[in-house]
Each structure stands twice: as structure tokens, then as C-alpha cells.
Amino acid sequence: MASTRRGLLGVTGFAASALLLAGCAGGPAPAAESELSDDKVVIGLLNDQSGVYKDLSGPNSEVAIEMAIEDYFAEYGDEAVVTEEQLEIVTADTQNKPDVANTQAQQMYDRSNADIILDVPASSAALAVAEVAAQKKKLYINVGAATMELTGAACNPYTFHWAYNTQMLAKGAAGVVEDGGETWSLVYPDYAFGQDMVKSFTGAVEDAGGTINESIATPFPNDNFSTFITRAASTNPDVVGIMAAGGDLINFVKQFNQSGVRDQATLAVGLMFITDIHSLGVEEFAGTTFTDAWYWNYDEQNREFADRFQKLTDTRPSFAHAANYSAAYQYLDAIQRAGTDDADAIVGELEGLKVNDVFLRNGEIRAGDHSVIHDSYVAKVKAADDVEEDWDYEEIIATIPAEDAFPDVNPDCSL
């Protein structure tokens, strides 16, 4: 487990207030007297540092958290209730395995004295960390996983689901059905994320008048999808929907295009990050429509954030990077208002909060199930000839308002 103390990297190019809009409803919080447990604030970053989800979040999410720390000090200066010396980031790799995630989370909370854990892609790993957070009564903001269980059967007072979920991702499916994609075959990784995706996409396709011919489970992770692609095509669907993410998505799309199946069926992607398109090449995804949580070139505010991120990482940020920034900043801002890092006090500051920042547009942290709702987007991958600069691969064709992008409070949640 890596541990670092972070000083300011130096805010240059624009003021933090321009980046953040109005960090929370009501404007900047006043200074409060600091009451920090063990006289420090430890932020834990727990994610895939070396596997199929490394590029979409991974080590670069630590940079995003550092940017949030930087902006916190730029916003509050001498009135900040946390000093640079009191802030620490610790990181660890889940390997996308629930047992490893469980162990790493316990070590972060107990040995490293982490006050909060952020990120955790792979839904099975995410659910394992939620269980630890509930047991330890420590804060956990999930960014990287999509399972609805985080705000459903597995919800607890200390877990928040920040960026996206499977029902939000399925919102774009109705448009595919309306455009003629009436029959679908779904291919999914056989763990919590994939199972949730099949449930959400099946509901969205059927509600729009379409039909699911077959749902095909695959191992996770996986590098050979040829037999699953052949099976998906055997029912002659209008659409083949792939519910994998990260490296598995890239492998699937590459093999799907090589197989020739794309000549007979449209490809639909359940979850895609800008890093996926960049890795495989825009021409491999051209014309694909999907639901996105955030896009770096959506407007000037996002682009300013992305320019700053690129200077530090030599890459454009995915929505997971932007969401980790948002979660870290809003956590520190909650400490500022509360004057303490006490977990119950921070939960009280976050519940019901309305937020506009670089990631959360028209955002609200719902008190009923700790789902964080915000505007989301229907995106289409550009044709190669329409790409005017590197990384600008998406056309945003519609905005899904926050209240439409996310379902009502999950009835399976009992906080």
C-alpha cells in the first residue's frame, strides 16, 4: 500500500472558483474550528492499478484527488480547517477481486487510519468495500462501479454512489430501439456488474418495445470472445450489446470487428470511457451510441479541467477521473463546513446536498439511498474524418436531466 503526503502542486491557469462553479448550494462555507481525528485527514484511493481498468481510473485518479486538494486550499486559504501537512493520500490495488478489496479496505481503515475510501471499480470489489465501510463506520464514496446494489440491498449510512449506475447507462438503449434496433443479443461478464447491466438493459430495451434474444455470460477478465461473438450472432439480432468495460471491452470490440458480425448487426456498448476509444482507435467505435456520465470537451469548464489534468498526466481525463476529483473536493468541503472529519458529521453534511461542480451538473446527493444524481449524456463516437484533435472522439447528442438519468430512491435500500 502506497502512502504519500501531498503539498500544493500550484494552481495555475484559472482560479479554483471558476473550476468549481458553486461547490455546493449557498456558496463557500465559512471557516470552522478544526477537530480532526488523530490530527490528520487520510484519503484512501482503492482501485485497479495494473489490470483491465487501470487506464480508465487507476493511478491517474490520484492526480485528480491531488487537484481537488489543491483547489480546496486555493478556495479557503488561511481559513482552511485542514492544513497541507494534515492531508495524506494512501493507495492500493484491488486486482478487481472482492477478497483483495476487502483486505485492502480493512488495512486502509485500520492501519493507515483512512477517513474515507474513494473509487473501487468492479462491482464485486465495490460491494466488498461497502461491507467493510459499514462495519467500520467509515466513509466510502464509490466512483468506479455501476451496480445498483450499492444504493439498494447493500446500501449503508457510510456509502455513497457518486458517478453512475446500470440504470443510467441503459437510458441510451431506447434510442437504439427507436432507430430500428429491435432485437438484441447481450454479452456480459459473469459477475455483479455484468448481471446488473443485463437486468437494466433488458428492462430498457423491452420498455422501448424491443426484444432480448439471448444473454450470454463470459468469464471475467477475458481475452478471447470469439465463441461468444459467434453465439450472439447466431440468433440474427439487429444489435449485439457488449456489457464489458475497460480492457475486456477493447478485446471484445476488436474481435467483433474482425469477425465480420458488424456487417449484419449494430454494436451497442453498455459502458465506455474515453480511454477505451483512445486505446483501440476511434475508427473501431465510429457511430456507436452510448450513455456517458461526463465528457472532457463538453464545455469550457470541462476543457479547462482537462487541460490542467493533461499537463500532469499527458492524457485526457475519463469521467472516473473527474468524478474522483469531485468526490474528494466535496468531502473536503464537507469537513470545512463541519469543522471535523467525524464520519457521522460528514454524512450529515453530504445528505441532501445540491452540488454543481466540474463533474456534477445539477447534482444532488440523495438522502434516501445515497445515490448521487446529475445530468448525463447520450454520446455518439465520431467518424475518424470528423475528429479535429486528439481525444475529441465524442459528439454529445442529448442531455439526460438528472431526475431522468437516475431512478427514484431505490426501494431496496434501508439506511
**Does the fold of domain 168-292+377-405 match that of domain 2-164+297-374?**
yes
- Min mean pLDDT across 92-101, 127-136, 191-200 is at 191-200
Q: What is the pLDDT of residue 172?
A: 87
Give the predicted TM-score (pTM) of the model: 0.91
Q: What is the pLDDT of residue 35?
A: 84
User: Domains of the chain: which residue ranges?
Assistant: 2-164+297-374, 168-292+377-405
- For residues 344-354, give the mean pLDDT: 98
**Dist. CA 412–CA 400, nearest whole Å:** 24
- For residues 7-25, give the mean pLDDT: 42
CATH 3.40.50.2300 at 168-292+377-405, yes or no: yes
Q: What is the pLDDT of residue 95?
A: 95
Q: pLDDT digit string (tens) for 219-262?
A: 999 999 999 999 999 999 999 999 999 899 999 999 999 999 98
Q: pLDDT-derived band of residue 10, with 50, 70 and 90 as boundaries? A: very low
- For residues 203-216, give the mean pLDDT: 97
Between 29 and 299, the more confident residue is: 299
Which CATH superfamily does the domain covering 2-164+297-374 fall into?
A: Response regulator (3.40.50.2300)
- Asked whether residue 189 carries a pLDDT value surpassing 50, the answer given is yes
Q: pLDDT digit string (tens) for 149-162?
A: 999 999 999 999 99
- Asked whether residue 179 carries a pLDDT value surpassing 70, the answer given is yes
**Dist. CA 261–CA 27, nearest whole Å:** 53
